[in-house]
Chains A and B, each alone.
Chain A
């Protein structure tokens, strides 16, 4: 069975994502080293912690991560994990992985922040990650920042909360969601099953 390695930045709940990836049909392990990532059939960057602290943790595996992604290993970033795909963040200093051009911005203060709860997806571009997922589907969000990609081609879904923001991105083997599929009930599981299909393909 294909093995997804969840990179551990050292804080918070990884069990939900591990369990959800297993329900989606992958084996899932927690990894902290370059060796762990080297063996991965897929890599997940979870959504816990802060931009700057996570980048520090990622530093020692950055090279292998870049290599694996260049080789075509599917990568899934969730929430903060996806924000790390961009160049910088208003949350704190540090250079992101820069897979995509663009920055991560604060949600406007006209709405309550964190954006916490179930909100809808406007699917702007067909992508295999969202195969079978209906327009207007509710998924679970909990975040204070959002990605602002420069390249509109990578935007897959948008969501509205104080502003219309990019809630999922995809390009080649790199996939990212601002929402938490592992916390989004059956819909989230369907999205992770789509990811699992991409992995075993």
Chain B
């Protein structure tokens, strides 16, 4: 099989500006999503994810503008997420030029939205984002996973990781796949921001139980972390932010390393 593992830089956008990691790029317009997208695309990123954290009634207009700008500037696929709640929200970003939408809280609260989106746009456009946190309390009916710190289950959190739901992330992924999810973006709340490596057990637990691609997220600090999540974690794609943003390990450096370690990577 020659399908390459994907390297996916993630950009957080607020009011049309990239809000993290704008220091290194020395761009004319620091934080311009279009310019940063172009830069990552030129460097060899395989795909991009934009996470829009704008909380404003002007959100839709702001999104439409930069999504169109990005679509015109780059010719690699990109996903837009953050506050997508229904078909109308999804149509706005897809018709502005995004290839996929990622849905998180709205899918948990109203799972049928997954089916509605898949029916209208095709399941390949529907990414279900899952923010999961390890829960050490042995609980009946949860899918327990053996880890270095003992048996855990993975609990879905919503509202940007602020609200524990009691829902098993692995079971939720299996349900969401049946409803029409075309891909999963799995973020470890425990690892996010630590630069300590991905949650391998979480990624593998989901990747082994669903038959659609899984993007691992949260914890990348060095290229070895991406290697581990591809090999041990069975991820199909690895998302990272700070490792790329601050130019510690630019995309080509990470790709060279992975290629040398025997991972199938796009030239």
Contacts and interface: CB of A to CB of B under 8 A. Distances in A.
A interacts with B: yes
A48 B71 CA distance: 16
Question: Is the interface on chain A under 10, 10 to 19, 20 to 34, or 35 or more residues?
Answer: 35 or more
Contacts of B96: 15
Interface residues of B, number: 37
13 contacts: A13-B99, A15-B71, A19-B71, A113-B211, A116-B183, A117-B6, A117-B46, A117-B236, A117-B237, A142-B99, A144-B123, A162-B1, A185-B41
A26 interface: no
Interface in A120-169: 120, 138, 140-144, 159-162
Interface of A: 11-16, 19-20, 23, 48-50, 109, 111-120, 138, 140-144, 159-162, 180, 182-186, 188-189
Interface of B: 1-6, 41, 46-47, 68, 71-72, 75-77, 94-99, 120-125, 182-183, 210-213, 236-237, 266-267
Nearest to B3: A119
Given A15-B71, A20-B75, A114 B3 contact: no
B211 A112 contact: yes
Contacts, number: 108
B213 A16 contact: no
Interface residues of chain B: helix, strand, loop or mixed (majority): loop
B92 to A, nearest CB: 12
Contacts of A111: 1
A138 B121 contact: no
A161 B98 CA distance: 25
A119 B98 CA distance: 21
A49 B122 contact: yes
Contacts of B76: 140, 183-185
A196 to B, nearest CB: 15
Tell me which of B3, B97, B123 has the highest count of chain A C-beta atoms within 10 A of its own C-beta.
B3
Given A13-B95, A161-B1, A184-B75, A114 B266 contact: no
